[in-house]
Amino acid sequence: HLLWAKGIRRYGFHGLSYEYVVATVGASTLGRAVIAHLGNGASMAAVRDGRSIDTTMGFTPSGGFMMGTRSGDLDPGVLVHLLAHEGYDVAALARLVDHEAGLLGVSGISADMKVLLAVRAREPAAADAVELFCHQLRKHVGALAAVLGGIDTLVFTGGIGEHAAPVRWEVCSGLEHLGIRLDPERNARHDAIISADESACTVRVIPTDEDLMIARHTRTVLGP
């Protein structure tokens, strides 16, 4: 209660992107949807009837799964240990969690998924970073599908979601038990719908437009 009064709560992020996806596809068409906004910052939301009912991010954009340079969820005890025994101060922890972790921290090469995909065949650390990222995505899709009581639509958006076909393939290859099956050719072409005909879950690739949503909200507030 005391922390809630101080504004400590689960806010979530990327709402404009999720709103754009719902507005573009339609709530009834999406059904029970998991929307994955995958960029340098990344999150997912569970959407039912056009409304978000859960999200991977919380009080800050650092939580959830690993991102370009952000850690994602950490055992709080790790932070306490670093403060108490490894000489970290608050500024160093903030730098670690937000700027030195994620794909960059695991690979030691780059925060850019495009770079990691290009070199992973010869750089084991890059391959490890991509594999861990996809593993965490699968885990969070499964968790949000459980919250929804099933999944009708999986949406990929954001820079990685829209352009990294290998990531989409590796994520979905572990989700057949949820009725998710990709068509390899559609996925490689970045089609709007990349699921196979026999897939029980529709998998979509939707280029997001957060600027458009800002413009629409601004017009609503300011008037014509």
pLDDT digits (tens, 9 = 90+) for 174-206: 999 999 999 999 999 999 999 999 999 999 999
Please, are residues 47 and 30 in contact by the beta-carbon 8 Å criterion?
A: yes
pLDDT score for 95: 98
Please, are residues 206 and 223 in contact by the beta-carbon 8 Å criterion?
A: no
Please, are residues 40 and 111 in contact by the beta-carbon 8 Å criterion?
A: yes
Whether the per-residue pLDDT at 224 is higher than 80: the answer is no
Strand order, beta sheet including 202-205 = 51-55, 42-48, 33-38, 153-157, 202-205
Query: pLDDT for 121-140, tens place per residue?
Result: 999 999 999 999 999 999 99
Whether the per-residue pLDDT at 89 is higher than 80: the answer is yes
pLDDT score for 139: 98
Q: How high does pLDDT run on average in the chain?
A: 97
Residue 101 CB burial class (10 angstroms; 0-12, 13-18, ≥19): buried
Name all domains of the chain by residue range, CATH numbers in brackets: 7-222 (3.30.420.40)
Query: pLDDT for 138-149, tens place per residue?
Result: 999 999 999 999
3-class SS of residue 140: helix
Find residue 193's DSSP bridge partners: 204
Residue range 145-171: mean pLDDT, rounded: 99
pTM: 0.96
Residue range 163-170: mean pLDDT, rounded: 99
Q: What's the Cα-to-Cα distance from 153 to each of 28, 59, 87, 141, 188, rounded to whole Å?
A: 11, 27, 46, 11, 19
First to last CA, the chain: 42
